[in-house]
Structure 1
Amino acid sequence: MLTTEGAIATDVIAEKGTVKSAAYERFRQALFDGRLRPGQFVSQRDLVALLGLSIGALRELLPRLQFEGLLKVMPQRGIQITQIDLPMIRQAFQIRAAFEREAVLHAVRKLDDAALDAQEALHRSIMEEVRTKPDQALFERGQQVDDGFHNLLIAGTQNDLLIQAYGVNSIRIRLIKLDRVTLSAAVLPSAFADHLAIISAIRSRNPHEAMDAMDRHMMNARERALEL
């Protein structure tokens, strides 16, 4: 049974963890909405103002962001947001491919046909709309379907360490997409055709076909990013 002092300490730790999570989410959103740009140099004062954090909260956040490769703290120069360059793209997609292979193998064994049917229907609906009335709102929904498909596979592993590492790398992948490859009338049909091939291979319960289909998808996505 917790003493009063113990209960207070537990509450303080929980609150501190919540504050750290909120600070991390503010940084992530600033990356995604363009307030922080890849390669940009900023000061701690800039980040405090931009993210609405105290200097103490920022200093607690910086080691995590540096460890995850989302920024570099550079003496005499400030803080540099991670750059989008060829080595970063190759490394991010290599890590992603390893996670996705494990996820698709698990899906072959565990993901039920109802979930596969729902994903196929979502993909085909978006593809049909692209042919008839493409607009920005549709591509945003398409991106949600794209992310949802991969997140479904990753979550299905029920491996907390893999899910956490995938989440960090997905920030890099999102930045690459924002910088170089967004879904469009030219890109979406090809990407979704890859997804449908993966869904078909999972439904066949053939691990080799499923992994080959995922590998092709990862290679195509990487090449789209590298060619620009």
Structure 2
Amino acid sequence: MTAAHDRTGAGGDPSDTPLKKAAYDRFQQALLQGRLRPGQVVSQKELVTLLDMSIGALRELLPRLEAEGLLHVMPKRGIQITSIDLPMIRDAFQMRIALEREAVLSALRKMPDEVLQAEEQKHRGLLDQLTARGDPPPEFFDQCQDIDSAFHDLLISATGNDLIIQAYHVNSIRIRLIKLDRIRLTRRTLPSAFGDHLAVIKALRARDAAAAVAAIETHVRNARDRAIEL
């Protein structure tokens, strides 16, 4: 569980009841596990069965999910899971740049050198494994994806701002959907992605604000451009 997740819970709202939080978690996991696909249209009955929740719990959850842009309720037609299209990709990555720019500035002031050094070692260790392995198994790239997500969560948690953390959490669901659909880490993309991370870490360790902001903006734009190309 990430630091950002710890602070606010799955939905990011400390006022969530356990039942509402569980319902939100189930929907999120269904998305990220591919049991709900971007653009898919389902009925309330199908969604109740899939998420194993009551119709009342679903109806309480739907307004929030629609407000967060994760689905669209179409009267008498069903519920459409948000589609991955160019406007969605551009909007999600633009928001990510805004949030992570603030995150690196906070990390610059607050994050200890030993934490940054540990992150650097993790990234370099996985890059070394990639070089040493002829054909890494899928589990290796799953591990790399976890390190990738945890690094960004670590930066966001440095803000100590619950509103930023909540906004990031909602947007990160969109980003993770885009990654699952278009830009999962592979032998080809991992060196570039982790190389961008290392540039951010280097700037943070040097306490160079301009370089840190430039590095995170470059990283997010590179990810956006890979998604748009596909």
- Stretch moving more, 101-110 or 127-136: 127-136
For structure 1, the 5+ residue unaligned runs are 1-13
Equivalent residue for 2:201?
Answer: 199
Report the Cα distance in structure 2 between the residues aligned to 1:185 and 1:135, rounded to whole angstroms. 11
The amino acid across from 2:99 in the alignment is F
Of the two, which has the highest radius of gyration? 1
Provide TM-score, normalisation by structure 2.
0.92
Report the Cα distance in structure 2 between the residues aligned to 1:227 and 1:198, rounded to whole angstroms. 24
Which residue, 155, 158, 167 being the options, matches 1:156?
A: 158
Equivalent residue for 1:141?
Answer: 143
Q: Do structure 1's residue 30 and structure 2's residue 30 form an aligned pair?
A: yes
The amino acid across from 1:145 in the alignment is I
Equivalent residue for 1:87?
Answer: 87
Q: Deviations over 1:64-103 (max 9, x none)?
A: 0000000000112110000000000000000000000000
- Stretch moving more, 129-138 or 173-182: 129-138
Q: Deviations over 1:139-194 (max 9, x none)?
A: 01101110111100000110000001100000000000000010000001100000
Report the Cα distance in structure 2 between the residues aligned to 1:123 and 1:175, rounded to whole angstroms. 23
The amino acid across from 2:72 in the alignment is K
1:72 aligned counterpart, secondary structure:
strand
The amino acid across from 1:219 in the alignment is R
> 1:16 deviation in Å?
7.6
After TM superposition, the structure 1 = structure 2 runs for residues 26-105 of structure 1, keeping only pairs within 5 Å, are 26-105=26-105
Report the Cα distance in structure 1 between the residues aligned to 2:166 and 2:126, rounded to whole angstroms. 29
Relative to structure 1, is the Cα distance of residues 191 and 15 closer, same or farther in structure 2, using a 3 angstrom cutoff? closer
Report the Cα distance in structure 2 between the residues aligned to 1:204 and 1:179, rounded to whole angstroms. 35
Relative to structure 1, is the Cα distance of residues 148 and 75 closer, same or farther in structure 2, using a 3 angstrom cutoff? same
- Stretch moving more, 180-189 or 14-23: 14-23
Equivalent residue for 1:179?
Answer: 181
Task: Indicate the structure whose relative CO is greater, using CA pairs within 8 Å and at least 6 residues apart.
Answer: 2
For structure 2, the 5+ residue unaligned runs are 1-13
Please report the RMSD computed on the Cα atoms of aligned residues, expressed in angstroms. 1.3
> 1:206 deviation in Å?
1.1
The amino acid across from 2:152 in the alignment is H
2:80 aligned counterpart, secondary structure:
strand
Report the Cα distance in structure 1 between the residues aligned to 2:177 and 2:48, rounded to whole angstroms. 22
Identical pairs, percent: 60
> 1:15 deviation in Å?
11
**Alignment coverage as a number of residue pairs:** 215
Q: Deviations over 1:178-228 (max 9, x none)?
A: 000100000011000000000000111111111011111011010010000
The amino acid across from 1:182 in the alignment is R
Equivalent residue for 2:227?
Answer: 225
